[in-house]
Chain A
Amino acid sequence: MNAAAPFRDPAIARRLLDEIGRTMTRPWTIMEICGGQTYAILHHGLDQLLPPGLELVHGPGCPVCVTPIDFIDKAISLARRPDVIVTTFGDMMRVPGTAANLLSVKSEGADVRIVYSPLDALDLARHNRDKKIIFLAIGFETTAPNSALAVAQARKEDLANFSMLVSHMLVPPAMRVLLGSPMNQVQAFLAAGHVCAVTGWKPYQALAEEFRVPIVVTGFESVDLLRGILQVLRQLEAGAARVENAYERIVKPEGNRLALAQIEEVYEVCDRTWRGLGTLPQSGWRLRPDYAAYDADKIYTFDTSSSEENSECISGLILRGVKKPPQCPAFSVRCTPQHPLGAPMVSSEGACAAYYLHHNGVSHER
């Protein structure tokens, strides 16, 4: 990647901002689905540069934010077993479970290790045959191909000490729930570019038609985001409701066939509980019965009857775009990245953490 690339060019960004200003004739509310987009918008200060009346609300696309609390509790109970090494993406470490988080159980002696890829967990399994290596397979359509590859490889190598605790999520069913809610204020979507790189954008066509909303597949750089916003605005102003692709350099209509085949081999669609949103039908992937020997949910038994969210956290409203983080009474007072009450304050892609880090409610005057 190159700082001078056209998708980062400030001159192009400024031209797009001007064009957005000229195109908009009335207020609109747009949701960016992906936490990576939320982060980039705040990181570049785009929210302050867009015309007043253009409301960007932040969607549920932050993997650790939507991972349900009983999943964290399960991961913690696995980590406490002396024969287990839990491997995870770093973001998961501070996500609060009911009574602890992975960071705190690690400090008590549990073996929890941060990996950047599930294939690293596989490597750990190869070199620690006396330990059970469990990978926390979370995230959306973007992370599923990798975890699918890892578990398929584990089966090929007969790595009996490797398993995964799976909570993969699918984006389109969550969008359907948001659009169907009586509280919905979202008039258009910036779809998550990386998700569409795997699935293609066809799964979004039914949503655009059924709910009459424009959906534009959008990337993560400043120019990508502004292009996505401009295309959405043009549709809104014209009363159109199509799926468009503003991230052609990465996203093909059919997605990534290899990745989809890998997912298909390993996973099947299931109902999934989302933190803050409840159980959504057909909104996740779980391991197929063929892979039961690698499914931590099948290998171990858990008691999650006492799993409970912090009652003060309004993550459900945040993740649905009904409220913005500063509207939460606990925001930056009792809930900070150092002491998060809920998951959106943990990951840099979480809307609350992104707001806390980049704005913290302060206005800037030069």
Chain B
Amino acid sequence: MSDERIPETWNGAAPQATPQTVHMSHGSGGRLMHTLITSLFQSHFANPFLDALDDGAVLPALPGRLAFTTDSYVVDPIFFPGGNIGDLAVNGTVNDLCMCGAVPLYLSAGFILEEGLALTDLEEIVASMAEAAKKAGVHIVTGDTKVVEKGKADRLFINTAGIGTIAVQHPMGSRHLQPGDAVLLSGPVGDHGIAVLSQRKNLGFSSSITSDTAALNELTAALYKTRGEAVHAMRDPTRGGLAAVLNEFAGASAVSIQLEETAIPVRPEVRTACELLGLDPLYIANEGKMVVIVAEPASMEALDILRQHPLGREAEYIGRVCSGNPGLVSMHTELGGWRIIDQPMGELLPRIC
């Protein structure tokens, strides 16, 4: 409990001992931990479900089917152009719910902090989580904090889990692709992975590329509302990039997918960085893009819906679902040849999400 005689800030600052960094005692269940929770997490995430500060959040009953997901975030570095591990942790889990056809509602947040993490860094990250949650219309309703000794973690790791209500009634997902379907992509690929890579000290290149980290809930909501029944699958191409998602789709639905090289949007600076590093943009992570598989007759309308939203302004029709060659993803090259777009091979890249 806090000592009422000593005025405190959220980091437990008392005149005689001012921790500027995370200490083991921030995770010990004692006074420092309490002030960390109330003055940092509670003040930023403020909502009626969290404010009770019980062992878990008690939530109102939700109608219909629910989607439930979890993801852990270990990106290195924790700050990168266009975002940080905090907004990534919120947007990533919000997007996972959206891709299941859900309206995201509640998130949990678990923090594993390395002793010595600057408290100002932690506050910046928590503040961006709060802002991302507000933007996506979700509440962070419960959480946990652990502190591990220096060297036992890399600054901080965040786990978020999320619940949402299913907004579409028809079966949707990786097993529901049908020959003839259109493949839509909401914008240029590769921004996030290259933005993170550009910050690596030993790469020695800087770039103007920023992460695309963003919540896609408005984009998916607009699609459900108008052409929901025509959407057969959606996925955000994070680790493994566009190639991983399409291979998974083709395999799960036993169909093939044919892409048009010239239709796939890639920013010129991402393309150049990829060439320098020997990478293929189709395999690079994104954190604010989605692939939409939609019945062909609805494809142009769906593309328009995507393009009307700022996050989908550069959306493109990039390919088609075909029968035959189950599991195969191939690309018609700019020159008129073909090549296979295989599963990514466990790339040797730094942690990007």
Give a binary string over A107-123; 1 marks a CB under 8 Å from any B CB, 0 the rest: 00000001111001001
**A348 CB–B CB distance under 8 Å:** yes
Max count, chain A CB within 10 A of own CB: residue among B277, B330, B345: B345
A42-B332 Cα distance, complex, nearest whole Å: 12
Chain A proximity of B196: nearest CB distance (Å) = 15
A90-B333 Cα distance, complex, nearest whole Å: 27
- Contact between A44 and B337, CB atoms less than 8 A apart: yes
Within 8 A of A (CB), among B268-326: 268, 271-272, 275, 277-278, 325
Give a binary string over B5-41; 1 marks a CB under 8 Å from any A CB, 0 the rest: 0000000000000000000000000000000000000
Chain B residues with Cβ under 8 A from A49's Cβ? 335-337
- Contact between A120 and B340, CB atoms less than 8 A apart: no
Q: Which residue of A lies closest to B200 (CB)?
A: A116
Chain B residues with Cβ under 8 A from A239's Cβ? none
Give a binary string over A1-20; 1 marks a CB under 8 Å from any B CB, 0 the rest: 11100000010011001000
Pick from A69-77, A132-140, A308-316, A353-361 the stretch touching chain B: A353-361
**A22 CB–B CB distance under 8 Å:** no
- Contact between A116 and B203, CB atoms less than 8 A apart: yes
Chain B residues with Cβ under 8 A from A362's Cβ? 325, 328, 330, 340
A46-B334 Cα distance, complex, nearest whole Å: 10
Task: Choose one: B271, B330, B348; the contact of A90 (CB below 8 Å).
Answer: B348
A337-B340 Cα distance, complex, nearest whole Å: 14
- Contact between A115 and B202, CB atoms less than 8 A apart: yes
- Contact between B333 and A44, CB atoms less than 8 A apart: yes
Interface of A is mostly: helix
**B342 CB–A CB distance under 8 Å:** yes
**A297 CB–B CB distance under 8 Å:** no
Give a binary string over A327-341; 1 marks a CB under 8 Å from any B CB, 0 the rest: 000000000011000
Q: Which residue of A lies closest to B343 (CB)?
A: A338
A124-B328 Cα distance, complex, nearest whole Å: 43
Chain B residues with Cβ under 8 A from A3's Cβ? 268, 271
A22-B202 Cα distance, complex, nearest whole Å: 49
**B204 CB–A CB distance under 8 Å:** yes
Chain B proximity of A320: nearest CB distance (Å) = 25
Given contacts A3-B268, A357-B340, A364-B330, contact A46 B202 (CB under 8 A): no
**A93 CB–B CB distance under 8 Å:** yes
Q: Which residue of A lies closest to B331 (CB)?
A: A45
Within 8 A of B (CB), among A116-154: 116-117, 120, 123-124
Chain A proximity of B325: nearest CB distance (Å) = 6
A260-B275 Cα distance, complex, nearest whole Å: 25
- Contact between A360 and B342, CB atoms less than 8 A apart: yes
Given contacts A1-B272, A2-B268, A357-B342, contact A48 B258 (CB under 8 A): no
**A67 CB–B CB distance under 8 Å:** no
Task: Choose one: A14, A90, A103, A359; the contact of B339 (CB below 8 Å).
Answer: A359
**A47 CB–B CB distance under 8 Å:** yes
**A249 CB–B CB distance under 8 Å:** no
A115-B277 Cα distance, complex, nearest whole Å: 11
- Contact between A338 and B346, CB atoms less than 8 A apart: yes
Given contacts A114-B348, A338-B345, A348-B278, contact A48 B202 (CB under 8 A): no
- Contact between B342 and A356, CB atoms less than 8 A apart: yes
Chain B proximity of A13: nearest CB distance (Å) = 5
Q: Which residue of B lies closest to A357 (CB)?
A: B342
Task: Choose one: A13, A115, A358; the contact of B335 (CB below 8 Å).
Answer: A13
- Contact between B202 and A120, CB atoms less than 8 A apart: yes
A49-B80 Cα distance, complex, nearest whole Å: 42
Chain B residues with Cβ under 8 A from A13's Cβ? 335
Give a binary string over B248-267; 1 marks a CB under 8 Å from any A CB, 0 the rest: 00000000001000000000
Given contacts A1-B275, A2-B268, A337-B345, contact A45 B337 (CB under 8 A): yes
Give a binary string over A31-51; 1 marks a CB under 8 Å from any B CB, 0 the rest: 000000000001111111100
- Contact between A47 and B337, CB atoms less than 8 A apart: yes
Chain B residues with Cβ under 8 A from A26's Cβ? none
Q: Which residue of A lies closest to B336 (CB)?
A: A49
Given contacts A362-B330, A364-B330, contact A46 B340 (CB under 8 A): no
Chain A residues with Cβ under 8 A from B334's Cβ? 10, 44
Q: Which residue of B lies closest to A2 (CB)?
A: B268
- Contact between A46 and B203, CB atoms less than 8 A apart: no
**A222 CB–B CB distance under 8 Å:** yes
A47-B258 Cα distance, complex, nearest whole Å: 19
Chain A proximity of B241: nearest CB distance (Å) = 14
A286-B204 Cα distance, complex, nearest whole Å: 28
Chain B proximity of A233: nearest CB distance (Å) = 18
- Contact between A222 and B335, CB atoms less than 8 A apart: yes
Give a binary string over B186-212; 1 marks a CB under 8 Å from any A CB, 0 the rest: 000000000000000011100000000
A43-B340 Cα distance, complex, nearest whole Å: 9
- Contact between B335 and A46, CB atoms less than 8 A apart: yes
**A366 CB–B CB distance under 8 Å:** yes
Chain B residues with Cβ under 8 A from A90's Cβ? 348
Chain B residues with Cβ under 8 A from A123's Cβ? 202
Selected A-B contacts with CB under 8 Å, 14 pairs: A1-B271, A13-B335, A14-B335, A44-B333, A44-B337, A45-B333, A45-B335, A45-B337, A46-B337, A116-B204, A116-B277, A348-B278, A359-B340, A362-B325
A-B contact sample (12 more), CB < 8 A, given A43-B333, A44-B339, A46-B337: A10-B335, A17-B335, A45-B335, A48-B337, A116-B203, A120-B202, A120-B204, A338-B345, A356-B342, A358-B340, A360-B340, A362-B330
Which B positions have Cβ atoms within 8 angstroms of A?
Answer: 202-204, 258, 268, 271-272, 275, 277-278, 325, 328, 330, 332-340, 342, 345-346, 348
Which A positions have Cβ atoms within 8 angstroms of B?
Answer: 1-3, 10, 13-14, 17, 42-49, 90, 93, 103, 114-117, 120, 123-124, 222, 337-338, 348, 356-360, 362, 364, 366
